[in-house]
Structure 1
Amino acid sequence: MQMARTRHTKSRAKAEINVVPYIDVMLVLLVIFIATAPVVMQGVTVDLPQAKAETMNQDEMTPIIATVDKAGQFYVTIDTSTVKMGSLDELTNYVAGELQKDPVHQRPVVVQGDAQVAYDNVIQLMNALKNGGVKSVGLVTEPISN
């Protein structure tokens, strides 16, 4: 004897979204951001002088940043990596080598000098870059705060 099926036992498909794969993806992204944040945050802390100036064109390549800090130490920042230089000659050779990697599209070079650094250090840095083959050098400033 067969039992008749009742309407109450009829199974229906549930319309639910499975969020477990999305949680997995978010956790992977979180780990990637945590691992890369210290690399991106590298840099040299300088107190830039304030001046009214035009902003750089965003279409240009990322500039090479030559920095002189308050203590008179020299650094070069390319993309997200900052390298401490022992001397102006080392800095000049390093920047010249980077510019030779793509001589057709010259990357802009800017100088970032601490507001407390001696004027002579900034001039020496700019002169060393000029002697190293840099055609033009820009200066980095902070916008004037009201």
Structure 2
Amino acid sequence: MAMQLPSQRSGGRRAPMADINVTPLVDVMLVLLIIFMVTAPLLTAGVPVNLPDSRAKPLDQDKQPTEISLDADGRIFIAKDEVSADDLPARLEAIAAQSGEGDPPQVYLRADTALGYGQVMRVMGELNRAGLNRVALVTIGDE
């Protein structure tokens, strides 16, 4: 019994190769995985806050909201800028004045779970006094 080599096929014609070389695909996928693993932590908010869990659904938004954060030490941040408790009312009034006569801007309030209820409510009271009534409390989704 003789073994037939690919070069000895009938008529000298070569049959199409049915094997797929997946090595380049695996290489590209591994590079993309590494890129996503490195960049994903950089996309989170700048102020580290330990958020509580919730079963609430995410909100739909049409404009970029103003984000106010309270860390575990009780420090207040607007976006990534630290604001003292004395300067907070003036900063909130400036944010409310920027919106003009239209709807007040959406405000996301992120508060650490270590904070007391009173500290969060003081900031909520200042938001209400400034006329910023569209406030959403940010939590970690628990699905």
Unaligned runs of at least 5 residues, structure 1: 1-37
Within the candidate set 85, 105, 108, 2:83 is matched to 85
After superposition, residues 44-123 of structure 1 pair within 5 angstroms as 44-58=47-61, 60-77=62-79, 82-87=80-85, 89-103=86-100, 104-123=102-121
> Could you tell me the TM-score, scaled by structure 1's length?
0.62
Assess if the C-alpha contact under 8 Å between 2:66 and 2:105 holds in 1.
Answer: yes
What is the CA-CA distance between 1:92 and the residue it aligns to?
A: 2.2
Distance 1:127 1:53 in 2: 23
Identity %: 23
Pair 108,43 (structure 1): closer, same or farther in 2 beyond 3 Å: same
Unaligned runs of at least 5 residues, structure 2: 1-41
Runs of 4+ residues deviating >2 angstroms = none
Pair 52,91 (structure 1): closer, same or farther in 2 beyond 3 Å: same
CA RMSD of aligned residues (A): 1.9
Write the letter of the residue equivalent to 1:46: V
Secondary structure of the corresponding residue to residue 95 of structure 1: helix
What is the CA-CA distance between 1:136 and the residue it aligns to?
A: 2.9
Q: What is the CA deviation profile of residues 38-95 of structure 1, one whole-angstrom value per residue up to 9, with x for unaligned ones?
A: 8x7662100000001121213x211111111100111111xxxx110111x4122112
Pair 62,117 (structure 1): closer, same or farther in 2 beyond 3 Å: same
